[in-house]
Amino acid sequence: MPTVSARGRSPRLVLLVTTILGLVGAAVAIGPQAASAATVDTGATYVFVNRHSGKAMDLYDWSTADGAPVNQYARNDLAVQQWRFVDVGGGYYQIRSVHSGKVLELPNAVDGTPLVQNPAVSGNTRQHFGLADSDGGHVRFVNRHSGKALDVWGWSTADGGMISQYQDLGGANQQWQLVRVGAAADCGSGSFQAEAVLSGGTWTVRNGGSTVHTGTDLRAAVQAAVNSLTAGRTSKQRVVVRGSGSMSAGSRISLPSYTAIDVCGTINVTGTGSGDQAPIYSRGTTQVEVQHLTVTGSPLYGIFLRNVTNVVLGQIDMRLTAGLGVRIDNRGDTSQWTRNVRIDNVYVSGASSHAVETYGVDGLTIGTVTARNVGESGLLLNQTINATVTTVDAENAGAGTGYAAFRMANRNGRVGDSYPTNVRVGTVRARGGGRGIFCVSESGGAAIDRVDIANTGNNAILIENCYGVNIASGGGTISGGGEVRLAERTEFPGTRDITLRNFTLVNNRIVENPCVDNLTISNVTLNNSSISRC
C-alpha cells in the first residue's frame, strides 16, 4: 500500500460541494451532530467504507507504531481494516484498531491533518469521534477536539489515499458506511447470479431465467454454475448450491477470480486422488469467497488455494476421515505470495494432516480454528506474516507427533531480516495431542495473548530457534503434560528475545537449555512446578 502525501484540496471542488449543499439545504445534515451510543454496537467489529471511493479505512502497512497513518485501501475485511467503538460518554467514541489495539487520533485542529493511530489516552478529545448522520445510512466521523470531519483528501479514489480532517461539508468523501463483520448470514440468503438445486436426484443449474445444466453429478453441476457466470468480470458474482452429494478425491471444483460460492449442503469426498485436488480449488486468482462449506469423507484437501489475493472463507465445517482441511500457499518468490486472506470460522475433525495450514501468506486474519482429533497441527503457519488469529482451539491434535495445536515454522513471522511483532494470536487452547505451542526453524515476531494448555503428550510449549516471541501477556494456565522448553539446534542461530509471563504453571516445569539470549520470565505462578534456567 503506497503512501500518499498530503496535497492541496481543489478550491473549485470545495466551491462546487458548498454550492450543491446550499441548493439541497436540509437534504444533508451539516455539523457535529453526534449520534447516541445506541447507533453502534460496542461489542461488534466494523469495516468503514467511504461512500465516494468505495474503499475501506485501513491501517497503513500493518503498522503497530505510534503515529502510523490511516489511509484508504481496497476493502478486504482483514484485521487492518477492522475497528471497534469504545464509548467515552457524551455520544463520543474512541475507535480502536483490531490489529494494533491503538485508536484513531487527529493530532491537531488544522484542515488537512492526517489521521493516525496512537495509544488510547483517557480524556484526550483528539481521540474522540461523534457520529453525524448522512442519508442512505452513512455517517460522518466528527472529531470532538477540532469539530471537523474525517475526509478522503482531494476526493481520492486511489489505494493509499490519505484520510485527514476538513470542515464538515457533508460531501460523499466524508461519508462512511459502517459494515459489521464477523456475523454469519444464513446460507443461501441474499441475491445470486447462478443456482444449483438438487431435486429428486437431479441437479438443475439456472443463471437468471435460463437453465444451463441438468444432471445427477454434484461436481459437474456446481462447476457448470460457476462457469455460467459472466466471463471477464471485474466484480464478484455469486453461486448458491442447494443440496448434498458426492465427488471423487481425484476431482475438484475450480473457482476463477471474482467468484463467491455458498454451499448449503454437504460435499462428501470418496475414493483416492493425487496432486492438489480439492472440493474447492482456486489458483492464481483474486476476490474469491467461500461463504459456507461442509465437507465429509477423505479429500486430499478440503480447500486448496495457491497464489491468490483477497480471499474470504466464511463458515467452514469439515468432518473428515483423511486428508488436510484448509491449505493456503504460494508457489514462487515473494512477488507471488498469497495476500489478504480472511477466515472467519473453521471446524476440522478427523483429518490425517493439519486442520489449517498456510505457506507464503502476507496478510491473514482468522477468527477461530477448531481442531478435533487431527493427525498433525490445528493451525500451522509457515512463512506467513502480518497475521491476526483470535482463537486456536485444539483437542488431540498431533497425538504422538511433534506437531502442535498451534505451530509456526519455516521463518514464519520473519519480515526481511528481522522479527517485528506481526503475528498476533488471542488464545491458544490445547487438550492432549502432541504439543500445545511449537515455534521452530527461524520463526518468531509473535505475540500470543492467552494460553489454556493441559495434558499434552509432548511439550506444552517448545520454542526452538525462534526470535521475538511473547507468550501469555494476557494470562492463562499451563497444566500437566510435557514441559515448557526453550531450546535450539546448531544449524540455526540461537533462540533469543523470548518473554514468558503472567500465567500459572501447574504440575510442570520451564526448562532453558541451552541459554537463551534475552529471556524474560516474569509473574509466573508455580503450582507444584519449577523453573530451570541455564
Whole-number pLDDT of residue 183: 62
User: Above 50 in pLDDT, residue 334?
Assistant: yes
The torsion angles phi and psi of 26, rounded to 5 degrees, stand at -75, 0
What is the rounded average pLDDT of the residues 29-38? Answer: 34
Strand extents, DSSP E, 273-354: 280-283, 286-297, 301-306, 309-320, 324-329, 338-349
DSSP per-residue string spanning 89-122: ETTEEEEEETTT--EEE--SSSTTPBPEEE---T
Sign of the torsion formed by the C-alpha atoms of 188, 189, 194 and 195: positive
Residue 147: CB atoms within 10 A of its CB come to: 14
pLDDT digits (tens, 9 = 90+) for 157-195: 999 999 999 999 999 999 999 988 866 678 999 899 999
Q: Quick: pLDDT tens for 49-75.
A: 999 999 999 998 888 899 999 999 988
Q: Is 425 left (phi over 0), alpha (psi -120 to 50) or beta?
A: beta
> What is the model's pTM?
0.76
pLDDT attached to residue 16: 33
Q: What is the largest CA-CA distance in the chain?
A: 77
Grid cell, residue 189, equals 440468503
Poorest-pLDDT segment among 322-336, 377-391, 482-496:
322-336
Cell triple for residue 365? 486474519
Q: What is the pLDDT of residue 80?
A: 87
C-alpha cell at 510: 520451564
Q: Residue 223: its pLDDT value, please?
A: 98
d(CA 424, CA 24): 48
CATH topology for 11-181?
Trefoil (Acidic Fibroblast Growth Factor, subunit A) (2.80.10)
* pLDDT tens, position by position, 256-310: 999 999 999 999 999 998 989 999 999 999 999 999 999 999 999 999 999 999 9
Residue at grid coordinates 469521534: 129
Please report, for the chain, the start and end positions of each structural domain, with discontinuous segments joined by +.
11-181, 185-353, 364-534
Q: What is the pLDDT of residue 184?
A: 66
Residue 380: which residues within 8 A CB-CB, separation 6 or more?
Answer: 354, 356, 357, 358, 403, 407, 408, 409
Among the listed residues 109, 110, 133, 108, the one whose alpha carbon sits nearest the alpha carbon of residue 118: 108
Dihedral over Cα of 247, 250, 251, 254: its sign: positive
Percent of all residues in the chain with a pLDDT value above 90, rounded to a whole number:
83
Is the pLDDT confidence value at 376 over 60? yes
The reported pLDDT for the residue numbered 37 is 35
Residue 49: phi and psi, rounded to 5, are -110, 125
**In Å, how far are 27, 235, 263, 429 from 240, measured between CA atoms?**
39, 17, 6, 34
| pLDDT at residue 416, rounded to an integer | 94
> For residue 462, what pLDDT is reported?
98
In the chain, % of residues over pLDDT 70: 92
Q: In this structure, are residues 304 and 281 in contact, taking their beta carbons and an 8 Å threshold?
A: yes
Average model confidence (pLDDT) across the chain: 91
